[in-house]
Amino acid sequence: MDIFAVGDISMSILHTIERFIARTFSGGSFYCCLCDKNVRRFLPYRGGRSNESAFIKEMKIVGSDVDNFECPNCGAHDRERHLFLYLNAADLFTKFCGKDILHFAPERHLSARIAECSPNTYVKADLYPYTTDIVPLDLLDLPYPNCSFDFLVANHVLEHVGDDLRALSEICRVLRVGGAAILQTPFSERLNITWQDDGIDSASARLIVYGQEDHLRLYGNDIIKRFSSVGLSPLVATHVGLLPSVNASMFGVNPHEPFFLFERRE
Ligand SMILES: [Zn+2]
C-alpha cells in the first residue's frame, strides 16, 4: 500500500466523520446556501491546496476553493454554491421562467432550483449520464437546430472537452439571439495564453500540469477573449460586483471566481 492510498483512506474516514457530525448536530460558523444549514467547516477536495502539485500552486488557479469544497451536510461543491449565489443575484432564476434551457453536467441542487422556475423546456445533459433523467449529449455535436435555447449552463465543463472552440461554436449556434450561456471555467492568472499540449496525454501528467486527471487544458487570462471568439459577447461579473454582501469565507466560495456569462447578440 503506497502513501497516497493511506492518505486517501485517512481523508475518506475524516470525511465520513465530518458528514456524520454535520448531519447529526446543527450549528457552525459556516453556511451552505444550498441546504440552508450552518456547518462546522467545508471539507477539502483531495486534501486541499496543500496536496496540489507545486506547478499548480504556482499557477494561481482561479476556480474551485479546494480547501473549502464540499458541504458535509448535502455534499454540494463550492462551485455549485457560488453559481447558485450568482444566478440568484443576477435574477436569472426569475428569467428562466418560460424559457428553453440546456444544462450540461447538471448539479443536483441547481437543477432542482432551475426546474422550480417553470422553464418551457429544461434539458439536463451529459456525455456520460449518471441518472435516468439526464440525456446523453456531446457538446461537440448538439442534435438541435440553430437558435433552440434561451439559456445554456455548463459549470466547470469546458476544461474537460477536447475541442473547446468547437463546443463553444455549438453553444453559440443553439442559443437564440439574446440568449445567454453560463460558462464557469477554472483558469490561471499566471498564463497569458491558454495552454493545451496534446503531448500531455497521461492522467498523471494532466494532474500535475492541468490540476486534474481529466482536465485537457489550462485556461489563461485570454479565457474571455477565447470564449468570445465564436461570436459570444461577455457579460462577465465579479463576486465583489454582484455579491458585495456575501462573505465568501462563511459561504465557502472563491471570491476570485468570476461569473462567466456570455450572450449571443447576433
Ligand atoms: Zn449543504
11 Cα–ligand 1 center, Å: 19
Contacts 24+ apart (CB under 8 A), 161-166: 161/216, 162/216, 164/217, 164/226, 165/226, 165/229, 165/230, 166/140
Secondary element (H or E) of residue 88: helix 78-89
Q: What is 78-264's CATH topology?
A: Rossmann fold (3.40.50)
Check: CB of residue 73 under 8 Å from CB of residue 35: yes
Mean pLDDT, range 211-222, rounded to an integer = 96
In the reported structure, the alpha carbon of residue 164 is separated from the centroid of ligand 1 by a whole-number distance in angstroms of: 31
pLDDT, tens digit, 9 for 90 and up, residues 126-154: 999 999 999 999 999 999 999 999 999 99
Residue 229 has pLDDT above 90, yes or no: yes
Measure 108 CA to ligand 1 centroid, in angstroms. 11
Per-residue pLDDT band at 4 (split at 50, 70, 90): very low
Helix (H, G, I), strand (E, B) or coil at 150: strand
Cα 184 to middle of ligand 1, angstroms: 20
CA–centroid distance, 93 to ligand 1, in Å, is 19
The Å distance, Cα 183 to ligand 1 centre, comes to 23
CA of residue 76 to ligand 1 center, whole Å: 6
Residues 118/98, Cβ–Cβ less than 8 Å = yes
**What is the distance in A from the centroid of ligand 1 to the CA of 229?**
36
Confidence tier at 47 by pLDDT (50, 70, 90): confident
- How many whole angstroms from 37 Cα to the centroid of ligand 1? 6
| 233: β partners | 263
Could you tell me if 264 and 177 are in contact, meaning their C-beta atoms sit under 8 angstroms apart?
yes
Alpha carbon of 63 to ligand 1 centroid (Å): 19
Q: Report the run of H or E that residue 112 belongs to, with start and end.
A: helix 108-115
23: confidence class by pLDDT, cuts 50, 70, 90 = low
Q: Say whether pTM exceeds 0.95.
A: no
E-strand stretches of 53-209: 61-62, 100-104, 121-126, 135-136, 149-154, 175-182, 187-188
What's the 77 CA to ligand 1 centre distance in angstroms? 8
Cell of 110: 441547481
